[in-house]
Amino acid sequence: MSAARAAHILVTGGAGFIGTNLTQQLLRSGMRVRIYDSLARAGSHGNIAWLQRQFPDRIEFVRGDVRDCAQLGAALDGIDHVFHLAAQVAVTTSLVDPRADFEVNARGTLNLLEAARACPQPPSLVFSSTNKVYGVLPDVQLRRRATRYVPAADALRRQGIGESRRLDFHSPYGCSKGAADQYVLDYARSYGMRSIVLRMSCIYGPHQDGNEDQGWVAHFVRRVLAEQPITIYGDGLQVRDLLFVDDLVAAFECARRNIDTLQGRVFNIGGGVENSASLVEVLQLIERHTGLRVRKNTGSWRVGDQRYYVSDISSFREAAGWQPKVGVEQGIAALCDWFGAQDATTPHRPASVAAVAIRP
């Protein structure tokens, strides 16, 4: 890539929640961005239309599916770097249709890796993986507190789950994302591809069309603002480390800038111990900021649900100099305010979006 021109970035799944926030920042930084998205997920039509309004002359959109090898290969033409975010994202959906989950997450990632490997100058690649590759963590002993579970082991309470944790794929979703995760790492080993894996925890923020299967923080906020009940699966004391999407975007850019030294490595990315919260505690923050009372129903524990997962983010902090800046209370307030400025009770309607045909 010539230093005289802006990097040309491909964002698969770029019309999704994370992709929209990432693309916005890349364009603000002067990058040239091509979005590749099937627009299958709720809210994606509105997101791509919003991006096109914000950057009418600088964004390139290709409506395509990662299962389409020919179209995917064509979309890589002239690309310097890929952020691979396109995925089937819900454990519950994977349980209903594990074959489709595999085709998108595992085979779709392999399609992308092969298309990138075939390029005259293969682009670098950052893959968005998940903490679900570690399974439900059955050996982690927990103590029950008033509003959350806490690990019995002092080291785990202080640091969280590190990358040395044994992989234990759980649910079809865990298997498909885990397989993709390992392919990305192996392409760095076997073919010298400049690729890395970021295993993400609970990401939240603006443009998230959350539901109870995925994107639960946004789902909670929308339901509270609409004065609708929320179903809590389990006891609500399960803990995650929350990462505001602006901090994740910064992590993605750190990964891209340092790809030559980080290639072939995997990092846990989340809010860390300092930004951990239980479902009950998140609802308390939402109540405090909105002044609205949360109405709750309860349901049984769901397959693959971890009672405690908090990322140890020290490896990426040391390797790339990255650290979350937005605390949980600040981030929840920002998300509530963002949804408050929208019509929280009206579902997203498909908007008119312009796609371009990329030919080989």
Asked whether residue 206 is domain-assigned, the answer is yes
Q: What is the dihedral of CA 160, 276, 43, 130, to 10 degrees?
A: 10
Task: In whole angstroms, give the CA distance from residue 14 to residue 7.
Answer: 16
The per-residue pLDDT for range 152-185, each reduced to its tens digit, is 999 999 999 999 999 999 899 999 999 999 999 9
Q: Please report the pLDDT score of residue 359 as a whole number.
A: 29
> Of the spans 5-9, 286-290, 340-344, which averages the highest pLDDT?
286-290
The per-residue pLDDT for range 224-259, each reduced to its tens digit, is 999 999 999 999 999 999 999 999 999 999 999 999
| Residue 295 φ then ψ, to 5° | -105, 125
What tokens were used for 129?
């993986």
Task: In whole angstroms, give the CA distance from residue 204 to residue 243.
Answer: 6
Q: In which band, very low, low, confident or very high, does the pLDDT at 351 lie, cut at 50, 70 and 90? A: very low
The per-residue pLDDT for range 51-90, each reduced to its tens digit, is 999 998 889 999 999 999 999 999 999 999 999 999 999 9
Asked whether residue 255 is domain-assigned, the answer is yes
Residue range(s) defining the domain that contains residue 163? 8-340
What tokens were used for 59?
């964004």
User: 329 with 46: CB under 8 angstroms?
Assistant: no
Asked whether residue 354 is domain-assigned, the answer is no
User: Is the pLDDT score of 138 beyond 80?
Assistant: yes
Q: Please report the pLDDT score of residue 3 as a whole number.
A: 45
Q: Please report the pLDDT score of residue 11 as a whole number.
A: 98
Burial of 175-202, coded b for 16+ CB within 10 Å and e otherwise, reads bbbbbbbbbbbebbeeeebbbbbbbbbb
Task: In whole angstroms, give the CA distance from residue 255 to residue 261.
Answer: 9
Q: Please report the pLDDT score of residue 209 as a whole number.
A: 83
Asked whether residue 161 is domain-assigned, the answer is yes
User: 129 with 181: CB under 8 angstroms?
Assistant: yes
Burial of 14-52, coded b for 16+ CB within 10 Å and e otherwise, reads bbbbbbbbbbbbbbeeebbbbbbbbbebebbbbbbbbbb
State the DSSP code for 104: I
Helices 44-54/17-28 angle, 10° precision:
10
Which residue type is seen at 344?
A
Question: Looking at the 3D structure of the chain, how many domains does it have?
Answer: 1
What tokens were used for 192?
């010298």
Asked whether residue 355 is domain-assigned, the answer is no
Q: Please report the pLDDT score of residue 343 as a whole number.
A: 60
Q: Which residues contact 150 (CB under 8 A, 6 or more apart)?
A: 142, 143, 157, 239, 308
- Give the residue-averaged pLDDT of 343-358: 42
Asked whether residue 73 is domain-assigned, the answer is yes
- Give the residue-averaged pLDDT of 281-300: 96
User: Is the pLDDT score of 287 beyond 80?
Assistant: yes
Q: In which band, very low, low, confident or very high, does the pLDDT at 196 lie, cut at 50, 70 and 90? A: very high
pTM score of the predicted model: 0.92
The per-residue pLDDT for range 292-323, each reduced to its tens digit, is 999 999 999 988 789 999 999 999 999 999 99
Helices 17-28/245-257 angle, 10° precision:
60
Q: Please report the pLDDT score of residue 21 as a whole number.
A: 97
Q: Please report the pLDDT score of residue 346 as a whole number.
A: 45
Q: Please report the pLDDT score of residue 95 as a whole number.
A: 94
Q: Please report the pLDDT score of residue 349 as a whole number.
A: 37
Q: In which band, very low, low, confident or very high, does the pLDDT at 5 lie, cut at 50, 70 and 90? A: low
| Residue 8 φ then ψ, to 5° | -105, 115
Q: Please report the pLDDT score of residue 6 as a whole number.
A: 72
What tokens were used for 135?
């399974």
What tokens were used for 114?
């092969």
Q: Please report the pLDDT score of residue 244 as a whole number.
A: 98
Query: How much of the chain exceeds pLDDT 90, in percent?
Result: 86
Task: In whole angstroms, give the CA distance from residue 286 to residue 332.
Answer: 7
Asked whether residue 248 is domain-assigned, the answer is yes
User: 43 with 348: CB under 8 angstroms?
Assistant: yes
| Residue 84 φ then ψ, to 5° | -95, 100
Which residues are designated catalytic? 173
User: 286 with 338: CB under 8 angstroms?
Assistant: no
State the DSSP code for 321: -
Q: In which band, very low, low, confident or very high, does the pLDDT at 2 lie, cut at 50, 70 and 90? A: very low
Reference 74, options 115, 18, 34; nearest CA is: 115
Assign residue 222 the CATH number of its domain: 3.40.50.720
Asked whether residue 263 is domain-assigned, the answer is yes
- Give the residue-averaged pLDDT of 330-342: 94
Which residue type is seen at 28?
R
- SS3 category, 8: strand
Tally of CB atoms within 10 A around 338: 16
Q: What is the mean pLDDT of the chain?
A: 92
Tell me, rounded to whole angstroms, the distance of Cα 178 from its chain centroid: 14
